Structure 1
Amino acid sequence: MVQILIRQDTTIVEDLSATLVRELSRRLQDDAMAICLNVDIGRRPDLVIVTPHAVHVVEVKDKVGNIHIDQDGRWWLDGEEIVNLYREQPETPVQQAENIANHVRTRLFKLFKSRKMTFNGRVHAYVLIPNPSPDTRSTLAAFRVSSWLKQHHRHVWITLGLDELVERIKIHDAYAAESTALTYTPAHLQALARDWKLQPTQRINAIPVASEPRVANKRLTPRFALAVAAFILISLGFGIWTSGIYLPRGCATVDRLNIRSAPGGGVVATVSKNTCFRIDGVSPDRTWARIARGRYAGTWVATSLLNGLQPQKLPVVNQR
């Protein structure tokens, strides 16, 4: 279960909502060790998230309005520039995230060195827009694939919403697990908390934020269990009958499964092992299946990577 750590001399988090922290904690419950708040190590990141193989620095810009980015990479909110001043030097949100991540990396290097250890871990930088307007979403989606951003700040990830942030954190942690031998342990986390003067908390701004532990082996009465099983079977059968889909979903059997824009086309997303999809058809050669619902609706995945799928039973659909 992810811990919430906060600086020892504080109980109030001014720049973040308790709801955001609680939702982030819930989504990362099985994938992170700690979420650090009110960190002050010369720079002040909004969030520092420690996963088993990496550290993630997140700058939150919870702005109401429409964000525009000019040709020089400066951010504007309804005509007013979004800028952070550090030592009288202006920083865009992207520059701020990158500079703070570099500062955190240096601090971790010194911490490991003081313990006669070598720090070769990964520190990733993010800008999070929790609730982007449609115009903001369109602007930032284009900006984060622009050649300007890739040339100047290619290691900063702009994420639009908590789900996207969590997905990217999981991908980066998986990559770090393959590229470095460093795995963070409770001892590492304890040393970091001591160096950064952090302590565990269950509440911020008087609101509970810690993830609730999952209940295991909860006993059910036979009658209730039978009723639940019957309801699930009836719902499943009705869903298949009304949708005309022969297979309600397929589950990925490999890590980092690529979702593509068209059969054999460009990769638009990468998902983790055991992600399930509802499928509504296959390509003419039956090697690609089209996702029917959710955020990846209309995109494609290789049929060979979905267990239980029977391509010969699905209707062939036109490629987009």
Structure 2
Amino acid sequence: MPTYNGEHWIADALNSIASGGDSDGIECIIIDSSKSSATLDIVSSFSDRLQLYAMQRLDLPTWQQKTNLGLDLASADYVCTLHQDDKWLPGRSSDVRRWISEAPHVALHLSPAIIIGSKGEKLGVWRCPFPIGMVSNETFIPNIIVQNFVAMPAPVFRRDLALAAGGVDEDLGYTGDWDLWIKLGLLGEVWYHEFPVSAFRVHAASLTVSSARSPDYFEAQQRTVLQRHMEHVPLASRVKVLRAAEASIAVNVALASAANGMPQLIPRALCRLLSLGPLGIWRFLSTSRLTERVMPRIRAKLSGAL
């Protein structure tokens, strides 16, 4: 758990682990870069309910740096991340133990996630565009190159492979997780599970919202991942995937900019989208999970939460 000024959310996040009914043996590593002790004071109040390793590291200001330190310090074979504003759903720990026992070789376990608002209200469900079960490399890579459809608190992954992949790229301030999922998918099998066992919170202070306030930065972060991994897409489908990925970036930037009062990029995004043609648009909407990602944010905006 990489934290920073997390006193508003951290109790809810930790309580979601502690109250899951099966927290024995779960190692919680909290690395905090807050200047005050408020976040870690709340963390310490859970010491009788969770196996905690908490530390203040002012020299590690980004979530990427803190996540990489957590990967180094962890002792388990499988790890996951939980940001301070997200949470686990009841039964997650039991489900994850079953996933691992049934397929210990899998590099990356994925599942849907519930999207919640600032007060914990359910706003939607965020799914991956895969059937339940093992997802082949030939299916995973071309789809995730188009759009990061993985909610941050959902994945469970092998620590050894994450370390072999170099952990989270600390130069990717917004898309470091997307890059990591692709690297893990290239190193081993991916398994998609049916039911959501985590919740991703949308609110005005989230990383997605703050990153989107600079359209150039927002676009550059996404384009870096695209350029880095396009070579892993089969040659026969590379042009089609690249066109869909370019449209996805344009749509993401336009929608994020519009949400921050800058709607002028929407026409360009629409042109990109329409250039895909009817079948291409349908494939794009299916792969990107655009509706599932955008509608909860619109509901949050209308309610005043964003």
Shorter-chain TM range is under 0.3
Structure 1 length-normalised TM:
0.23
Which structure has greater strand proportion? 1
Which structure has greater helix proportion? 2
Question: Using CA pairs below 8 Å that are at least 6 residues apart, which structure has the higher relative contact order?
Answer: 2
